[in-house]
Structure 1
C-alpha cells in the first residue's frame, strides 16, 4: 500500500464530504500534555467532565493497538446570527453560545468521521480505527495542534489561520502510518486580551484554565450557582464566548458552510419566561437536538432565572412567585427566591416572608433570607 498516495486520497475525499480542514499527526504519547493535565489535577482546575484516566488521554496506543497516526479534522461554524431577535422589556432573552447553534456538533462530526472510517476500510481492509469528538479520551485540541490544524491560543481554544477559533474538532486514531503534518507556530504573541477580559478570571494565565471558574462550565452545573458568579453570568443560558469574541484572530471570521449548523434564532436566543414553565417533554422537543441540552432543562432554567434577575425583569415576578410556591426542586425554588430579591419590588417582601415560614429546605431558606435582605435594604 502506498501510504503517501492514500494520504492524498483521504484529503481529497474529506473535501467531498464537507470537512473544512484535515491534518495528520503521529500517535506518539502526548508527554507535554500529560504533565499539564497532572498539574491541572493537582490544582483542582478540572471540570470533572473529562476522561479521568490521564494515561488514556495522552497515549493513543491504549485506544487502538499498534496506533501509528491520528487524522484530525475541523469544521467551521458561524459566529454571527442572521435575524437575531431583540431582547425587549416585555420579552427578555437569553443566549446559547455559538457551539450550541444548529444541530448538535457531536452528531455532525461523528457523521463525517464515520464516512472517513468507511473510506479507510475500503482502501485498507485491515485498518484499525477509533473516532472521537469532544467526549472521547484524547484532547481534541492537543491532537489538532500536533496535526497542524491550528495553534493552542491563550484562551485554550484551537485557533486556525482560516477560520479563527470558530471550529469543531474531531479525530481518528489509526494503525496506518501516515506522514505527519507540520504544527503551526503559536501566533498569539504578546496579545493577552482573552486573559484580561475573562469575566471570572478563569483564564489564570495564557493557556491555563481553571475550569471550576469558567462560565462555560458553570452554566452546565446542576446545583446552586455560587453567589460570586451570578452577577457574572448575565443572560448566558449555556456556554460563554467572551474569550473568542475578543480574540483579534476571530475578527471578521464568520463562516456559513454547513446548513445543519445554522442557528434557529428562537432557540439560540430564546425568550426567558417561557423556559421557566417548560415540561421535560417540551424541552426535549424544542432543544433536544442542540448540544446545549445535554445536561437537561434544570441548569437552563436556573440560568434563565439568574438572567431575569440580571435584567431586573418585574414582568417575570408572577412566574418566579409560582416557582417558589410550587416547584419541587430546591435549586429552582431557592434561585427564584434570590432573583425576587434582586428584582427589588417592595411587594415581594410579604411574599418571601410568608414562604419563609413554609419552606423546609435549608439551602432554599438561606436564598430566601438573602433575597429578603436585599429587599429590606
Structure 2
C-alpha cells in the first residue's frame, strides 16, 4: 500500500472506531513552543504537573527513534447533561467539569490509539509507533494545532469548527512519513470574553495561562487553597468550564454522540455532604472511573467543604464541627475553619474557639484565629 492510500486508510479507520477528528503533521521540533514554555517556567506560571524537560516536550525525535510524523486525534465530549439534578437547602450539590463526565478519557483515547496502532502495524509491520494522551511528554494542543485539528484559542484550548473546544486530544509519533495537514487560521478575532470571564484572572492574555491562579489547577492541588481564591471556587469539585461556556464558538456544540462520556448525573453533580463521609475505598468505588478522581479523595473533600461555605449551608455545620474535632488532615481542618467562619453560625463560632484550645498545627491555628476574627467582625 502506497503512502497516500495508507494515509487515507488510516483516516477512514479512525472514523470507524469513533475518533472524531484526525490530522497529520511532521515530527519536526516545536521551536517556538520551546521559547514559550521556557518563559512560562521563568514566570512561575506552570502547574507542576508538566514534564520538566523542555527538549522532550518539543522534540518528538527524542521520544521515538527515526520519528517522521505525528498523528493527532480528537474525540468530542458533551457540553450538556440530561436530567441534571438540582440542589436545594440541606441537599447542596457540587459539580465536576465536563472533562470529567463519563469514563476517564485517558482510558478511552488510549484504547482508540491502541486500535489505530494495531491497524497501522498490520499495514506496515516494521513501523515504529508511540502514543500518548495528556500525560505524555508532548504538548497535546501544540500537536493538534500544527496537525490542523483546530486553532489554539485565547483560552488556551484547541477549538474545532465541528465540536468547539469540547474535545480530548491525543497523538501518535511514527516513523512513517505521512503528508502533513494544513494548520487552521485563528478565528478568535477581537473577542476577549474568556479573558474577561475568568474568575481568578488566570488568563493573563490571549493564549497565556498562569496555572497557579487557574481554578482547574487549584481544585486538583493537594495543598490548602490560598484564601484569595476560596470564594471563587464556588461549588466546583474538580475543574472549571467558565472559559469554555462563555466562548461564542462553543454555542450550540452539545456533542452527545460519544456514549463513553455520557455523565451519570449523581457522579457529575453529587450531593456535597455525603462526599465528606467517603472512605478511600468508597471514593474509589464511586468515582474511580472518572478522570476527576486521579488525585484521590482529599482535594475533592476539601473542595466540597469550600462549596458548602459558598452556599452558606447551615445544615452542614454540625458535620463540619465533628470533622474539625476528629479529622487527622491539617488541610481539611484548616479548610473547615474557614468554612465555619464563612457560614457564620453561633454554633460554628463556639466550635472554632474550642478547637483553637487544642489545635497543635501552626497553619490550622492560624486559620482558626482568622475565622474567629471574621465571625467577630460580622457580629
TM-score (norm 1): 0.99
Q: Deviations over 1:57-85 (max 9, x none)?
A: 00000011110000000001000010010
Do residues 19 (structure 1) and 19 (structure 2) align?
yes
Q: Distance in 2 between matches of 1:188 and 1:347?
A: 51
Deviates more, 1:226-235 or 1:341-350: 341-350
Distance in 1 between the 2:249 and 2:231 partners?
Answer: 28
The answer for the alignment partner of 1:184 in structure 2 is 184
Q: Which whole-Å CA distance do the structure 2 matches of 1:275 and 1:64 have between them?
A: 43
CA distance in 2, matches of 1:322, 1:256: 42
Cα deviation, residue 14, structure 1: 0.7
Alignment of 1:121-270 (within 5 A): 121-270=121-270
> Which residue pairs with 2:274 in the alignment?
274
SS at match of 2:141: helix
| 2-structure distance, mates of 1:163, 1:351 | 50
Distance (Å, rounded) in 2 between the aligned partners of 1:188 and 1:133: 26
Superposed displacement of residue 257, structure 1? 1.6
Q: Where does structure 1 lack aligned partners over 5 or more consecutive residues?
A: none
What displacement does 1:260 show?
Answer: 1.1
Q: Distance in 2 between matches of 1:371 and 1:94?
A: 23
Structure 2 residue 376 is the aligned partner of structure 1 residue 376: yes
Deviation at 1:366, TM superposition (A): 0.8
**In structure 2, C-alpha distance between the alignment counterparts of 1:37 and 1:202, rounded to whole Å:** 16
Distance apart, 1:350 and its partner CA: 2.0
1:287-339 Cα deviation digits (max 9, x unpaired)? 00100000000000000000000100000001100110100000101111111
Query: Pairwise mapping of residues 296-335 of structure 1 onto structure 2 (< 5 A)?
Result: 296-335=296-335
1:339 pairs with 2:344: no
Distance 1:231 1:360 in 2: 26
Q: Contact 2:219/2:237 (CA < 8 Å) preserved in 1?
A: yes
The one-character-per-residue Cα deviations of 1:158-205 (angstroms, maximum 9, x if unpaired) are 000100000000000000000000000000000011011110000000
Corresponding position of 1:67? 67
Out of 130-139 and 254-263, give the one that drifted further: 254-263
SS class of match (1:347): helix
Residue deviations 1:10-63 (CA, integer Å, cap 9, x gap): 001111101111000011000111110010011110000011110000000001
In structure 2, distance between residues paired with 1:112 and 1:123: 17
8 Å CA contact retained: 2:69, 2:178: yes
Comparing 302-311 with 252-261, greater Cα deviation is found at 252-261
C-alpha distance in structure 2 between counterparts of 1:148 and 1:263, whole Å: 29
Q: Aligned residue for 1:104? A: 104
Specify the alignment match of 1:350 in structure 2: 350
CA contact under 8 A between 2:224 and 2:335: conserved in structure 1?
A: yes
Equivalent residue runs for 1:47-126 within 5 Å: 47-126=47-126
Equivalent residues of 2:340, 2:349 under 8 A apart: no
Q: 1:79 is paired with a residue of what secondary structure?
A: coil
How many Å separate the matches in 2 of 1:135 and 1:223? 21
TM-score, normalised with respect to structure 2: 0.99
Q: How far apart are residue 256 of structure 1 and its match?
A: 1.3
How far, CA to CA, are the matches of 2:123 and 2:316 in structure 1?
Answer: 60
Q: Determine the structure 2 residue equivalent to 1:284.
A: 284
Contact 2:151 2:160 in 1 (8 A): yes
Give CA deviations for 1:254-290 in whole Å, capped at 9, x if unaligned: 0112111000000000000011111000000000010
Match of 2:74, SS state, is: strand
For structure 2, which runs of at least 5 residues remain unmatched after alignment?
Answer: none
